C-alpha cells in the first residue's frame, strides 16, 4: 500500500497521474466535459510537466548523467515516474533549445530515486512533450 503522508509526495503524485493520463486525452475535445483546462488552439497534447526539486538550502537537486555522445553532464530538471511514501522516482531530462529558441527537454534514459525528506520545494515548469517516456 502506498501511503503518501508527505505533502510534496502528494503533489508529485498528482503530477504523475496527469502525465499517466495524458495519452488518454482527446486533444480535439471542446465540450464542457473535456478533461483539461484552458484552450487548445493548436491541438497539441503535452505528456510531461517537468519539475525542479529544491533542497532545504535553496539549491536545486542536481544529478549526473551521460548523454548519447558519452559526455558526463548534470541536470536539475526531472519527469516524475513514480512516488512511494517519502521518495520519488524521476527521469532526468536534458534541457536544450530548438531552432526557434524555445526550451525543449530530451529524455536522457537515466533514472534516479530522490528522498523527499531532503526536498523542501518544487518548481513546476511549463508542460511539454518528451519523446519515448
Which string of DSSP letters, residue by residue, matches 76-127?
--EEEEEEETTEEEEEEEEEEE-TTS-EEEEEEEEEEEEEGGG--EEEEPPP
With a cut of 70, say whether residue 4 has pLDDT above it. Answer: no
> pTM of the predicted model, to two decimals?
0.83
Give tens-digit pLDDT for 11-24: 999 999 888 888 76
Placement of cell 517519502 in the chain? 86
Give Cα 103 to chain centroid, integer Å. 14
Cβ neighbours, 10 Å, residue 77: 22
SS3 20: helix
Confidence band (pLDDT; 50, 70, 90) for 90? very high
Distance of alpha carbon 43 from alpha carbon 46, whole angstroms: 10
Amino acid at each position: 500500500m502506498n501511503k503518501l503522508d508527505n505533502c510534496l509526495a502528494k503533489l508529485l503524485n498528482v503530477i504523475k497521474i496527469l502525465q499517466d493520463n495524458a495519452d488518454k486525452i482527446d486533444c480535439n475535445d471542446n465540450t464542457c466535459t473535456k478533461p483539461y483546462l484552458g484552450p487548445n488552439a493548436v491541438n497539441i497534447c503535452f505528456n510531461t510537466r517537468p519539475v525542479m526539486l529544491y533542497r532545504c538550502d535553496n539549491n536545486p537537486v542536481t544529478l549526473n548523467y551521460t548523454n548519447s555522445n558519452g559526455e558526463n553532464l548534470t541536470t536539475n530538471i526531472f519527469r516524475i515516474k513514480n512516488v512511494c511514501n517519502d521518495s520519488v522516482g524521476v527521469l532526468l531530462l536534458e534541457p536544450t533549445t530548438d531552432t526557434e529558441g524555445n526550451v525543449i527537454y530530451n529524455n536522457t534514459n537515466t533514472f534516479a530515486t530522490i528522498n523527499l525528506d531532503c526536498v523542501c520545494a518544487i518548481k513546476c515548469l511549463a508542460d511539454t512533450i518528451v519523446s519515448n517516456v
